[in-house]
Amino acid sequence: MIKAEGLTKRYGDKLAVDGLTFTVEPGVITGFLGPNGAGKSTTMRMIMGLDAPTSGSVTVNGKPFAAHRRPLAQVGALLEARAVHTGRSARNHLLAMAATAGIADRRVDEVIAMVGLGEVAGRRAGAFSLGMGQRLGIASALLADPQTLILDEPVNGLDPDGVRWIRNLLKGLADQGRTVFLSSHLMSEMALTADHIILVGKGRLLRDQPMADFIAGASADLVTVRSPEASRLAQLLAGPEVTVRDVADQTLEVQGLTSDHIGRTAAAAGITLLELATHAASLEEAYMALTDESVDYRSTVEYTEDAA
């Protein structure tokens, strides 16, 4: 479990993290989302004791990271996949880590096999591709078989098979009751992987809720209706808090009414419906709606086909 209380970090005049309070529970995958500059990396560094909070506190499994007798057995982290000695082989990098933490050599071979680096374990890490470097970073995080995992952009550089592998790995670890804290800008993958969302913007907490609730809360109440009598149906649905748009031949978009209400209205009037579907927001749409005012870096040039 990770528990932050009033966590704040200031660099001179820059307030990077502003009073964050949240709990990352074991047994679920918690996604950590926010625009660039939102304070995600700084928060992760404070969890790992790499940066000291200006105020507030953060603990992992009941203690600050540095207070644990065997910290690597408590927390495995991937904050920067390239933070390895480039002249060492992958296996020697892991053996050096294992030696400093009292971990048996056989565990090194286990994690090498687990992340799929068996055929290249003797190669210099500096010659690895981005995806291979990610796998080595994940192996480092898993080396001490930790109860808590903190991963920053773990799928960066992985091919589709690698992305599916890390997704299944994290789900399996969460099913074992471990705490998994995951940051990524890939919304489609986060939607498939995370059970819970912590969203930050400009260092402040914006949302802390289950993934399903997060998406549902940002969904537009939009229903698509297709009918050969679309015009008559539009007249029947019209109301002071209802918006009906004729978007195509025989097709309406309705806001302010449920699909059940629209279906019953059509049935009562003897109107045939060819399609009746409620629009559900994607994670990306929900994320963009909530972080629009928290974006620090925004292009001032609007792209158009004429400009291409």
Tell me, what's the pLDDT at 293? 65
Asked if 202 and 236 sit in the same domain, the reply is: no
Per the rule left: phi > 0, alpha: psi between -120 and 50, beta: everything else, 250 is: left
User: Whats the size of the chain, residue-wise?
Assistant: 308
Tell me, what's the pLDDT at 236? 96
Describe the strand order of the beta sheet including 275-279 as a list of residue ranges.
Answer: 243-248, 251-255, 222-226, 275-279
Asked if 144 and 8 sit in the same domain, the reply is: yes
* Average pLDDT taken over every residue of the chain: 89
CA distance 85 to 155: 21
The residues that bridge with 201 in the sheet, in sequence order, are 204
Give the domain CATH number at 90: 3.40.50.300
Asked if 122 and 236 sit in the same domain, the reply is: no
Asked if 98 and 188 sit in the same domain, the reply is: yes
The residue among 176, 197, 217 that closes a domain is: 217
Residue 90 included in any domain: yes
Residue 224, class by beta-carbon neighbours within 10 Å (0-12 exposed, 13-18 middle, 19+ buried)?
middle
Residue 299 included in any domain: no
**Inter-CA distances, 217 with 72, 188, 209, 263, 285, Å:** 38, 18, 10, 23, 11
Asked if 195 and 269 sit in the same domain, the reply is: no
Residue 292 included in any domain: no
Residue 285 included in any domain: no
pLDDT in tens, 208-264: 999 988 887 765 568 899 999 999 999 999 999 898 989 888 999 898 898 999 999
Asked if 74 and 160 sit in the same domain, the reply is: yes
- Split into its structural domains, the chain has a count of 2
Residue from 64, 216, 36 nearest 207 by CA? 216
Asked if 25 and 108 sit in the same domain, the reply is: yes
Four-point Cα dihedral 148, 153, 156, 158, nearest 10 = 20
Higher pLDDT: 203 or 281? It is 203
Confidence of residue 169 (pLDDT cuts 50, 70, 90): very high
Residue from 2, 134, 133, 143 nearest 63 by CA? 2
What backbone phi and psi angles, to 5 degrees, belong to 216? -65, -35
Residue 306 has pLDDT above 70, yes or no: no
Asked if 205 and 260 sit in the same domain, the reply is: no
Give the domain CATH number at 261: 3.30.70.250
| Percent of the chain residues topping a pLDDT of 90 | 67
Asked if 45 and 82 sit in the same domain, the reply is: yes
Range of the domain at 265: 220-279
CA distance 214 to 219: 9
Asked if 197 and 270 sit in the same domain, the reply is: no
> Would you say the C-alpha torsion 55, 58, 63, 64 has a positive or negative sign?
negative
Distance of CA 9 to the CA centre of its chain: 22
The residue among 173, 189, 217 that closes a domain is: 217
Residue 305 included in any domain: no
CA distance 148 to 60: 8
Residue 99 has pLDDT above 80, yes or no: yes
Asked if 193 and 233 sit in the same domain, the reply is: no
CA distance 272 to 250: 11
Name the packing angle between helices 130-142 and 90-101 (round to 10°): 20
Asked if 89 and 184 sit in the same domain, the reply is: yes
Residue from 271, 265, 48, 298 nearest 151 by CA? 48
Please, which contacts does 89-92 make with residues 24 or more away whose CB atoms are closer than 8 Å? 89/121, 89/122, 89/123, 89/124, 89/125, 90/117, 90/120, 90/121, 90/122, 90/123, 90/125, 90/128, 90/136, 90/139, 91/121, 91/122
Question: What average pLDDT does this structure show over 84-101?
Answer: 91
Identify whether the C-beta of residue 127 lies closer than 8 Å to the C-beta of residue 119.
no
The residue among 165, 198, 217 that closes a domain is: 217
